[in-house]
Amino acid sequence: MTPAARIAAAIELLAAIEGAPRKPADAVANDFFRNRRFIGSGDRRAISERTWGVIRARRRLDWWLQQAGARTNPRLLVAAQLLLTGWSLDGVAQSFSGGQFGPTHLSQAEKAMLGGLETHTLDHPAMPEAVRLEVPDWVLPHLRARFGDALAEEMAAMGEPAPLDLRVNILKGSREQARAALAAEGIEAAPTPLSPWGLRIPGRRLVSAGPAFQTGLVEIQDEGSQVLSALVDARPQMRVADWCAGAGGKTLALAMTMQNGGHIVACDVSVPRLDGAVRRLRRAGVHNVERHLIEPGSKWAKRRAASFDRVLVDAPCTGTGTWRRNPDARTRLGERDLLELVPKQAGILEAAARLVRKGGRLVYATCSVLTQENEAQVEAFLAAHPDFTLVPLAHAWAEATFLSGPPPVDGPYLRLTPLRHGTDGFFGAVLERTGAAEPVAEPASEPTGGQG
């Protein structure tokens, strides 16, 4: 494809994403390229990078276009992104030349509006803080309360593209064997610093079609998610419940730490998510997992109360910790989402806690960086449940079979961020049941798969 044709395709893809506001951009892009198989891998990469460059800078681009008196649309967004990242107006006009497969000519009105952007950069001192940081207005106070003076640096790191993290499946081979297998595919991967099973590949690479992935030797999983899985410390012969299993990303990691022994129950309210886990389990060579569909009014959890050694709650959340990986999620997140999620998380935590035996552990996790979904949830739970105590991170880390060295953060909780740890934003708390469970009525709250 010519450079102009790539720009035209980026405009078309951006329009498709804008036309499906509730659908993740990745899913829209997958459909877009699946229906255009004539687009080669290099062109796909260039089109995606251009499109995601717009998405990552969306609030700032909108601000610049508003200053120019323009009504935002995909065509002007792409043109503005080109100008504000170093292109000249003449260069943009040449690419919008109306040639074969390229964008149509810039009108005189478009040139006039875009002309004011030439020689500028994406940032401007007059921008409101939320615009400059690329976050929704309503969430800014919550982020400032979480990060304080480090807010700008943390959001800058959140705005950078995420690397591709893989988890080596030690049921199939070692990390060095996996590196060698990937190298044979032309993919260089480096060990991650925190996870003992992690491999990191810079940029976006297609690994799912290669033999290392197809044979189950590696699985796509952010290093932060891997660390959380290790912190659960699920061991052979244990009974483990993954209460918000989703498509089974952490279930796979737990089965691996259990060496395919013991018994895992992967629970979720979604049949498609649980069914989707089957293929992953088979590929990984995992056979100690039972899937369970949570249904309203079911007595399943009540009958199994206080019978699990480990219960993982990877709770549904705002996903604010994944914005570097899913920058479009910022535009879909509303204040009402947080207001609805907080009581839902509390209900899920309450329900899952009843499964934990005395001496067993409940691990609460989110891929959020907001205090309301993390520390505040744990503190409220502990205040209402004197039969549980918080296991400090340093203690849980030292006891975990696969973790070594000091934990990456101080304090009682696992709190990871892209800036400080190179992972997605993750939160984890380890709670131990020290008293007997009190019999209570079955809750109405339901899990809805975690973030893998």
Q: For residue 89, which phi and psi values (nearest 5 degrees)? A: -65, -40
Instruction: Residue 414: count other Cβ atoms within 10 Å of its Cβ.
Output: 24
Assigned token pair, 154: 């943390």
Catalytic residue among 244, 267, 317, 367: 367
- Measuring CA to CA, which residue among 254, 192, 202, 188 is closest to residue 224? 192
244 annotated active-site: no
**Sequence-separated contacts (24+) of 209-217 with Cβ below 8 Å:** 210/182, 210/185, 211/181, 211/185, 212/178, 212/181, 212/182, 212/185, 214/283, 215/172, 215/283, 216/169, 216/171, 216/172, 216/283, 216/284, 216/285, 217/168, 217/169, 217/172, 217/173, 217/177, 217/178, 217/181
Q: How many whole angstroms from its chain centre is CA 221?
A: 9
Query: Could you tell me where the DSSP H helices lie in 215-334?
Result: 223-232, 249-257, 271-284, 300-303, 329-332
Token representation of residue 260 = 């395919």
Catalytic residues, by residue number, are 367
